[in-house]
Amino acid sequence: MATKKIAVIVTDGVEDVELTQPRQALVEAGYQPILIGTEAGQIIHGKKGTEFNIDQSIADVNMSDFQALFIPGGYSPDHLRADQRFVDFTSEFMEKRRPIFAICHGPQLFITAGIAHGKKMTAYKTVQKDLEYAGAKVSDQAVVEDGPLITSRNPGDISEFNEAIVKYLKTIPAT
């Protein structure tokens, strides 16, 4: 059976609009974003105080159940990369050349996973140099696409990011 589920890895400190707006764009396009955290049912808090309910635990998910991975920014990616399960989950998407969408600080997970080298991407200005040191080809643009990898810089780029991820998803069959 085809799935239109999108894995969204997230924890406390996420940049609220970098989760809410892309999630809404995905829902409107017919996709089902699933919030994945350390514990199913957990309530996490965005930087601006928005409460989010975690749908599934990272311990209970399988990459093959999802069409793509979305990593919103804020402080969340830095916390997630301290947990090897999230790093491995991200690496698996990259290894299988499955779509990964990351905004702002989201690409920090790529550095920890050792999968940034040679990839074209962008990120928040303070993360761009880290990505360069990790071997990424960084451009300071609103959206950078490198095959199934789509990255964006900050909340100001969300509309362009949303358009790019929805457009890309429509080019691939549901898994």
- Contact assessment for residue 81 and residue 96, using Cβ atoms and an 8 Å cutoff: no
- Contact assessment for residue 85 and residue 7, using Cβ atoms and an 8 Å cutoff: no
Name the nearest CA neighbour of 103 among 162, 170, 174, 172. 162
Cα–Cα dist 122/34, whole Å: 24
The two tokens of residue 95 are 């290894």
- Contact assessment for residue 107 and residue 137, using Cβ atoms and an 8 Å cutoff: no
Q: Which of 45, 79, 104, 117 is catalytic?
A: 104
- Residue 45 annotated as catalytic: no
The counts of H helices and E strands in the chain are 6, 11
97: left (phi over 0), alpha (psi -120 to 50) or beta: left
Q: Which of 45, 79, 105, 117 is catalytic?
A: 105
Q: Which residues are catalytic?
A: 104-105
